[in-house]
Amino acid sequence: MSPTSPTSPTSPQRPENPKSPTKATSPASESRRLLDGVDVILTDLDGVVYTGRNAVPHAVESLNQAAEHIRIGYITNNASRTAETVAAQLSGFGLTVSGDDVVTSPQAAIRLLVDLVPKGSSILVVGGDGLTSVVESAGFEVVRSADDKPAAVVQGFAPEVGWKDLAEASFALAEDIPWVATNQDWTIPQERGIAPGNGTLVSAVHTAVGKLPTVAGKPEKAIFDAAVERFGAKHPIFIGDRLDTDVVGANKAGIPSVLVLTGIDKAKQVLAAPEGSRPDFVLEDLRQLHEEYPATTESAGSQGARVFTVGASSVALRGNRVVIVEAGTSPTDLLRAGAAAVWGSGLMIWGLDVDSGLYEK
């Protein structure tokens, strides 16, 4: 990915061969609308559409506007609820959504499971109804004890999961059987703050058994492949709020990635993002889906400086210093220019002296 790709990618297109993803490698020559040429918007939920029981400001109206001419699919790593339950919540916010519009990590886990064990096998499930219902619908028998000699273990988050559930998974995995995790999200955004996610529970089992699961959800490709197949997407984009799962996963799948700053990751994380977790687009909120997306330009400054400009904002790279030349009127454009400068340096963030105005508000 080029240093300036987060702010100036080419038209969003999914490669025809998703196993050989290609990313934009040169800056666009002019501003354009982000949704031009997009046939399916795939979006995360937590931190993008809602946080806990509350809709994220501007998300619903922005997605409804997009849905007037583009198909929207919802992707969630949350394994505690069924697709129908998720759809009902989204509908309650004012979105038009059915269960078929929601792709869950348990659904992606089943895609993996059917290739690992025979249909009808006993599966030890660690998780809630969102996971058990999908396992049963796929023709497997749900068990809760290692004494039932399960053919595999599948693990997903649910608030009621406790030590006894993790212990049963550990006992079962003493045998050489497959272990599939719906996701490894370390945290979950909630109304009251950030809470531990499924990754912490998976890590507890990993510590006990000394091996790692096959992961179905973001950032792995299985859930993206399931979504692309479900919606027949040819030129999708993916919107998320996390670099480590949403952006990394979309990049792996060869889908243009959009980071919206309404959830987990903010300006400081964007600037520090290593290659592979850098988004193609950065938005303050989903209203910017419908705004002109400015190009990034690079020019030569004084004394060998490289100056990155987005809109009215300019940031210079002078040796190992990243400094604001012109803040402009848009904090988002300033961040985009700053990211282009940091990523264009070829240095890790700790090797740079970065102007605090790029990440402090």
Asked whether 222 and 111 are in contact (CB, 8 A), the reply is yes
Would you call 145 helix, strand, or coil by DSSP? coil
Residue 313 scores a pLDDT above 90 = yes
Mean of pLDDT values over 39-46: 96
Mean of pLDDT values over 104-132: 95
* 355: annotated active-site residue: no
List 154's β-bridge partners, or say none: 125, 180
Total Cβ atoms within 10 A of residue 232: 10
The continuous run of DSSP H or E covering 60 comes out as: helix 59-67
Mean of pLDDT values over 215-240: 96
Residue 24 scores a pLDDT above 50 = no
Per residue in 263-294, pLDDT tens? 999 999 999 999 999 999 999 999 999 999 99
Domains located in the chain, CATH noted: 32-103+219-291 (3.40.50.1000), 106-215 (3.40.50.1000), 293-358 (no CATH)
Residue 115 scores a pLDDT above 90 = yes
Would you call 143 helix, strand, or coil by DSSP? strand
Q: Tell me how far CA of residue 204 lies from CA of 109, 184, 194, 209, in angstroms.
A: 20, 12, 19, 9
- Give dist(CA 216, CA 115) in Å, integer: 13
Q: Tell me how far CA of residue 299 lies from CA of 25, 314, 324, 332, in angstroms.
A: 18, 10, 14, 20
Phi, psi (rounded to 5 degrees) for 222 = -55, -45
Phi, psi (rounded to 5 degrees) for 8 = -150, 60
pLDDT level of residue 16 (50, 70, 90 thresholds): very low
Q: What percent of the chain has pLDDT over 90?
A: 84
Which of 39, 44, 244, 280 is catalytic? The answer is: 44
pLDDT of residue 190: 76
Which of 39, 46, 165, 246 is catalytic? The answer is: 46
pLDDT of residue 86: 95
- Read out DSSP for 33-101? ETTTT-SEEEE--BTTTEETTEEPTTHHHHHHHHHTTSEEEEEE---SS-HHHHHHHHHHHT----GGG
pLDDT of residue 21: 31
Q: Which residue spans within 113-222 are E strands per DSSP?
A: 122-126, 141-143, 152-155, 179-181, 187-190, 193-196, 214-215
pLDDT of residue 295: 96
Residue 78 scores a pLDDT above 90 = no
pLDDT level of residue 30 (50, 70, 90 thresholds): low
Per residue in 155-204, pLDDT tens? 999 999 999 999 999 999 999 999 999 999 888 877 788 889 999 999 99
* 44: annotated active-site residue: yes
Asked whether 240 and 270 are in contact (CB, 8 A), the reply is no
pLDDT level of residue 32 (50, 70, 90 thresholds): confident
